[in-house]
């Protein structure tokens, strides 16, 4: 009589990181560690601290030393380093499979200005914008904004996530401070026209449920009075998320199609989530695409999965298998 020992796939979960989304990443990573099927995977935590130092079992390690212990990496990092192509480039050089988009697509997706240029090329409607690349002559640049856009406007860092550093500016006295705030989080800043409408988001999963690109049900987001879908609204319960959203059949179909088109246009893989504004007369505008959407208990992708009867365990297993089988 023979006993067959099956080799469990060794998974390293990268979380933390040197960005302002450190806490969110810790929560996403904790979700992954908790819900990956333990009978199939040997899962271990890789903590990246706020200085970018990797740790295993509480001990600092070099990235290549840590990676030698694993067959595949689940990337649960957010923001700078984890979402902008840097850690992806490191993983690619090491030759280890990992979840999420590759280094080039990640870098493009993290840059809101580059993403907008690709949206426009693909005829995906996006708000008008103005790029600021320096804090010099800020008063002159502020006047340019008021010449181009009516109030209010959105001021946001070009490369940041979770709405960190984003401000709605309703008057000229606020603009300079908002620009300075955004520059604290990015080397360049985007000023966008403000479009008043219904906020929506739609996730996309590759190779899921017999679809090349499976759209999750679009979610309607209703920030509480006086707010927009900022960091607090996302992670501190200051918004209502309706899953699935109260959209017309035509709106739902268009949101799903636009999310898939954005996913493909940016060259993303495995999964993503795009954010939209629906204006009653001007139609649907894409705001940005998240290349590594959050997977915390407050996050939108897990809520959308639940609404279609898909378990988080099955989703995470699927994403890992996509990474392992990536050619």
Q: Among all chains, which residue has been given the structure tokens 């209010």?
A: 152
The reported pLDDT for the residue numbered 304 is: 97
The reported pLDDT for the residue numbered 6 is: 57
State how far the Cα of 132 lies from the Cα of 178, in Å rounded to an integer: 12
The reported pLDDT for the residue numbered 172 is: 73
Is the dihedral angle over the CA atoms 207, 274, 315, 37 positive or is it negative? positive
Q: Among all chains, which residue has been given the structure tokens 């050089």?
A: 93
Domains of the chain: 9-99 (3.40.50.20), 108-125+196-324 (3.30.470.20), 129-193 (3.30.1490.20)
The reported pLDDT for the residue numbered 186 is: 76
Pairing, β 129-132 against β 189-193: antiparallel
- Residue 149: which of 141, 158, 139 has the closest Cα? 141
Q: Among all chains, which residue has been given the structure tokens 């200051």?
A: 238
Q: Is the pTM of this model over 0.85?
A: yes
Pairing, β 189-193 against β 41-48: unpaired
Distance set, CA 202 to CA 11, 14, 217, 274, 304 (Å) = 28, 25, 6, 5, 9
State how far the Cα of 292 lies from the Cα of 101, in Å rounded to an integer: 8
**What is the pLDDT of the chain when averaged over all its residues?**
89
Tokens encoding 223 = 């920030």
Q: What is the DSSP string of 71-130?
A: SEEEE---STTTSSSHHHHHHHHHT--BSS--HHHHHHHH-HHHHHHHHHHTT-----EE
Per the CB < 8 A criterion, the answer to whether 175 and 155 are in contact is yes
Catalytic residues: 21, 162, 235, 273, 275, 288, 290, 294
Q: Which residues contact 150 (CB under 8 A, 6 or more apart)?
A: 193
The reported pLDDT for the residue numbered 170 is: 84
Q: Among all chains, which residue has been given the structure tokens 């609204």?
A: 233
Distance set, CA 75 to CA 13, 134, 216, 246, 310 (Å) = 6, 32, 21, 32, 21
Q: CB burial class (10 A; 0-12, 13-18, 19+) of residue 222? A: middle
Q: Among all chains, which residue has been given the structure tokens 């870098």?
A: 107
Backbone torsion region of residue 107, taken as left when φ is above 0, otherwise alpha when ψ lies between -120 and 50, otherwise beta: alpha
- Residue 279: which of 171, 127, 117 has the closest Cα? 127
The pLDDT averaged over each successive group of 10 residues in the chain (327 residues) is 62 95 95 95 97 96 96 96 96 97 96 95 94 74 73 84 76 79 83 92 97 98 62 56 95 98 98 97 96 92 96 97 90
The reported pLDDT for the residue numbered 5 is: 42
The reported pLDDT for the residue numbered 237 is: 56
């Amino acid at each position: 009589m023979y006993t067959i020992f099956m080799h469990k796939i060794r998974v390293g979960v990268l979380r933390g990181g040197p960005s302002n989304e450190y806490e969110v990443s810790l929560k996403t990573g904790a979700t992954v560690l908790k819900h990956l099927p333990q009978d199939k995977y040997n899962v271990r935590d890789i903590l990246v601290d706020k200085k970018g130092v990797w740790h295993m079992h509480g001990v600092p390690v070099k990235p290549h030393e840590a990676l030698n212990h694993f067959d595949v990496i689940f990337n649960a990092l957010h923001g700078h380093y984890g979402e902008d192509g840097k850690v992806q480039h490191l993983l690619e050089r090491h030759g280890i499979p990992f979840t999420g988009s590759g280094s080039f697509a990640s870098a493009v997706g993290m840059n809101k200005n580059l993403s907008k240029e690709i949206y426009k090329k693909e005829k995906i409607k996006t708000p008008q914008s103005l790029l600021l690349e320096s804090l010099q002559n800020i008063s002159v640049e502020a006047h340019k904004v008021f010449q181009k856009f009516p109030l209010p406007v959105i001021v946001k860092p070009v490369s940041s996530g979770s709405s960190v550093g984003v401000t709605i500016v309703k008057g000229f006295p606020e603009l300079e401070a908002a620009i300075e705030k955004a520059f604290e989080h990015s080397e360049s800043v985007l000023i966008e026209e403000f479009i008043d409408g219904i906020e929506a988001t739609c996730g996309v999963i590759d190779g899921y449920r017999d679809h090349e690109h499976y759209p999750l049900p679009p979610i309607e987001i209703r920030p509480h009075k006086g707010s927009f879908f900022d960091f607090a609204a996302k992670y501190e319960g200051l918004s209502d998320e309706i899953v699935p959203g109260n959209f017309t059949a035509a709106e739902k179909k268009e949101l799903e199609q636009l999310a898939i088109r954005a996913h493909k246009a940016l060259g993303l893989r495995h999964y993503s989530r795009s954010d939209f504004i629906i204006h009653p007369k001007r139609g649907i505008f894409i705001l940005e695409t998240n290349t590594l959407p959050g997977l915390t208990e407050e996050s939108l992708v897990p809520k959308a999965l639940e609404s279609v009867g898909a378990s988080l365990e099955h989703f995470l297993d699927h994403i890992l298998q996509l990474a392992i089988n990536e050619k």
